Amino acid sequence: MTTLIPHELQALLKDPPIPLTALAPMQDVTTLEFMRVVDRCGPPDLFFTEFFRVHPHSRLEPHILASITENPSDRPIFAQLIGEDLEHMERATRELLNFPIAGIDLNMGCPAPKVYKKNVGGGLLRDLPKVDALLGLLRSICPGLFTVKMRIGFDSTDNFAALLDLINRHHVDLLSLHARTVKEMYRSEVHYAFIRQAVDTVVCPVLANGDISSVEKAVWALQYTGAKGVMVGRAAIRNPWIFRQIREYFTDQTVFAPTLGDVRAYIDQLRTATYVDGLPELNHISRMKKFINFIGQSVDPAGTFLHKIRRSKDYKTFFSTCDAYMTGEHAHKLFASEPHKNVVARPNRE
């Protein structure tokens, strides 16, 4: 049976009592297992799935569906689609409407070359007629909320005003805006003025996305842009408590300050979350390193932990390195709220 959106959620997006938070959709990261970890640390107001790839031969990926049907929290979850074929986008959307989703989210921001070269994700931003057609189609068949996540342009911002006009024309319910172009990927500074322009232009609420790295950065971005909330991506890998912290700040509570001991416990949760039956030890370690790559930015200012952990090739070395920096006399040291200067992940920006 199709799940319609409660009016309470629509009202919440338009007029939240405190700024909204959302976990950004990230391929191979925002799985059901990672959502469970984030839920235990303090969930965001909104979850978004990894994107469902839509093409003539596509089927809804079971592991992404699991994050919907087994949603570990009581928070709404949006199903994100990536594609450009109208017939099959309609097919996938109608199939998803049979699941307990908060709405459909269209990906118009993925900057991976293998994605945008297929004219999907961020590649759509070069093709305004296709954007117009897709928004029109999805709006017409979504009985509940229809949302969009996009960047400010492909290789320039020349189309930005026209894109905002299309967001209004098709009555999009929520816009998550990553304020870089597709070609800038994660390398440039974030152009927050474009988020402010969007807030001043579109009728729907806007979430600010891009380098929301801490409570302090979230507060600044919200004040500068006027956005209704923030969407956090890789910073939530580094600090899964960030949604709890933002909520505590805006409700005048003491903001939780994680210690390195808390981080060590988080790494144990990631060990479980990233393992699948039969996965060889080295492959599992490589998968965990994708997370540690960001966590390590806030462990020690010299970056020696990250240097050592990247070179570990077995469980014993990997976890003994974690223990050396996060247990014993180090367990009560505070985990830095921002990445240490010159200690970078790859990519080094969200």
* Beta carbons of 314 and 281 less than 8 angstroms apart: yes
Helices 215-225 and 192-201, axial angle in degrees (round to 10) = 50
148: closest CA among 169, 119, 176?
A: 176
CA atoms within a 13 Å half-sphere pointing along the CA-CB vector of 288: 28
CA 158-163-165 angle, to 5 degrees, is 120
93-102 burial, b for 16+ CB within 10 Å, e for fewer? Answer: beebbeeebb
User: Which positions are catalytic?
Assistant: 110
- Rounded CA-CA distance 108/283 in Å is 31
Query: Hey, what amino acid is at 209?
Result: N
Q: How many CB atoms lie within 10 A of CB 330?
A: 17
Cis peptide before 347 (omega within 30 of 0): yes
As a whole number of Å, the CA-based R_g of the chain is: 20
Question: For residue 223, which phi and psi values (nearest 5 degrees)?
Answer: -70, -40
SS3 for 172?
A: coil
